[in-house]
Structure 1
Amino acid sequence: MNEMIKSYDDLLNMLDQFLKEESKFDWNHFYSDRERKVPFFRNDPDENVVEYFETEKLSKGKVLELGCGPGRNAIFFAEKGCVVDAVDQSEEGITWAKERASEKNIDVNFIETNIFDLEIEEGTYDIVYDSGCFHHIAPHRRMDYLDLVNRALKPGGSFALTCFVQGGELGGAEISDWDVYRLKSLKGGLGFTEEKLKRIFQDFEVVEIRKMRDVSQDGPLFGTSALWTALFKKQ
């Protein structure tokens, strides 16, 4: 491996590698056991997304989902009449998502790649959605993440996400961005406060930030107050 830093990308790749070397986690292994007791393995959409459509905060359009996993939200968007591109780097996750969509006879364009390798024409999407990807993004990649969302959205487009509450029951490491590099770890996923989300996404108009509503596991929706839900609009 060439370890010379000659560009911004070289620096990002070095930091990626440092964190990867310390982590034993593998998304393909994670999704390979479909019987694993993971709350979001259920095939139900996030309660906040359903509420956004019910209250007309969102309406059908072209959607990009970042980190779609087994596809439950991508399928919901398609059922609401949206044209959907759904991205995940895990082959196992994308395979599962395609099977679920096929079972429902739903058309979703599932893309197996790292989100930072996406080639997107500027202003392509009405909605960008992220359910649980953002808190796994290392701080040094955050600027590229913001650029990706901005580039993808049309003017006035909507960006929504769910992410770990700091110190929440499902995760949400209570560490600083600098601590990520001191510890060489995201500690399973970074936790956020409402104020930190507002600071990170300060160039967007805040429509709503709230904790996700707890939903019974027997119901038709996914919801847990261990996650934030946030809806922004591109200005």
Structure 2
Amino acid sequence: MKTQFGNILLRRRKELGFTQEYIAKALHLSAQAISKWERGKTMPDILLLPALADLLQTSTDELLGHHRQYGKTVYDDRYKADEFYWGLEPNEMCYDILRLKPPSQRRLVLDMGCGEGKDAVFLARCGYDAVGFDLAAEGIAKAKWLASQHPTAAAEFFRADMLEYVPQQEYDILFASGVLHYLPPERRGAILQEYQRCIRPGGLCALNVFVQKPFIPPPPDEEIDGGYWRSGELFSLFADWKFHRCEEIIFDCVSGGTLHQHVMDILIAEKIV
């Protein structure tokens, strides 16, 4: 991804007739830093990307190479409504993050499958630097709008497919709520291993997954493309991590306006080594 980003940056800079020195001055950086980006040696801090994109008259998605045409998702129509499909109340795992790794120092959060961005924006408002991505274009549009209502919150969003996207920088916290059932069972271990690698030592993974039980009917408003997880399956993929929270719950849900129940495994795990 570093090489791809560097090629996109170099091409766009030359199209606009900008020098490395011009970009460096505008961003209060050294020309050497810009050169390293273009040569694929390093990547800019992801929170610097919006300013760089504005300077280059493009979008962060284009800079990151996420410009291919994705198909419409089942959630795009649901996210078109003015109200937020999942509401604005933050997921309870956000409070686990605040308790275990408070933003007393800079902490970078990656929200995997962020939907309409409510959790990423909440964490950003609390003092974290948050980055979220999702496949639903309407969700990303609403997430960006929500972030714009809180200008002091450091939250950025881009469109990407979690089956393809591989993080290229380190994060302190990985957050994923209500989305990991879209990982095909045969790829779950490999994909989560890639995300585990991008977490710094001492960082957290805050994740939940839907679990199938024979006594709980399927929800009326959701397509489980990859399939439900088995009880304990998520926990087994983090066997070498320190568990702060590890539980299975049954809860009522009214998403989509219909009362139903879910079974969910919840994991808050810390990377020690």
Q: TM (normalized to structure 2)?
A: 0.59
Deviating beyond 6 angstroms after TM superposition, the runs of 4 or more aligned structure 1 residues are none
- Note the C-alpha offset of 1:86: 0.6
Between the two proteins, what is the percent identity of the paired residues? 26
Higher relative contact order (CA 8 A, sep 6+): 1
1:27 aligns with 2:75: yes
Q: Deviations over 1:25-56 (max 9, x none)?
A: 633234234558x5xx2011012322442xx2
Q: Which residue does 1:192 correspond to in 2? A: 230
Gaps of 5+ in 1: 1-23, 172-184, 218-223
Cα offsets for 1:36-86 (capped at 9, x unmatched) = 8x5xx2011012322442xx2122211111000000100111011111111
Match of 2:124 among 73, 78, 103: 78
Q: Which amino acid aligns with 2:165?
A: L
Distance 2:121 2:78 in 1: 21
Contact 1:208-1:231 at 8 Å conserved across structures: yes
Residue range with higher mean Cα deviation, 134-143 or 224-233: 224-233
Contact 2:181 2:210 in 1 (8 A): yes
Distance 1:96 1:130 in 2: 18
CA distance in 1, matches of 2:225, 2:165: 26
- Shift in Å, 1:216: 10
1:233 corresponds in structure 2 to 270
Higher mean C-alpha displacement, 139-148 vs 62-71 = 139-148
Map of 1:112 onto structure 2: 159
State how far apart, in whole Å, the 1-side matches of 2:237 and 2:131 are: 25
Q: Deviations over 1:202-221 (max 9, x none)?
A: 2322221124696998xxxx
**Contact between 2:73 and 2:135, CA under 8 Å: does it hold in 1?**
no
Instruction: Tell me how large the CA RMSD over aligned residues is.
Output: 3.0
Is 1:58 the counterpart of 2:101? The answer is yes
Kept after mapping to 1: 8 A contact 2:234/2:265: no
Post-superposition CA distance 1:71-129 (Å, at most 9, x none): 0100111011111111111111100111111123333110111124435335x111000
> Aligned partners of 1:203, 1:141: CA distance in 2, in Å?
19
Q: Which residue of 1 aligns with 2:90?
A: 45
Paired with 2:149 and 2:227, the residues of 1 have a C-alpha distance of: 32
Shift of 1:163: 1.8
- Contact conserved, 1:149 with 1:159, CA < 8 A, in 2? no
Name the CA distance, whole Å, in 1 between partners of 2:97 and 2:110: 16
Contact between 1:120 and 1:151, CA under 8 Å: does it hold in 2?
Answer: no
Helix, strand or coil: the match of 2:131? strand
Gaps of 5+ in 2: 1-71, 255-260
Taking structure 1 as the reference length, the TM-score comes to 0.67
Change (3 A) 1:225 1:109: same
Instruction: Tell which deviates more after alignment, 104-113 or 198-207.
Output: 198-207
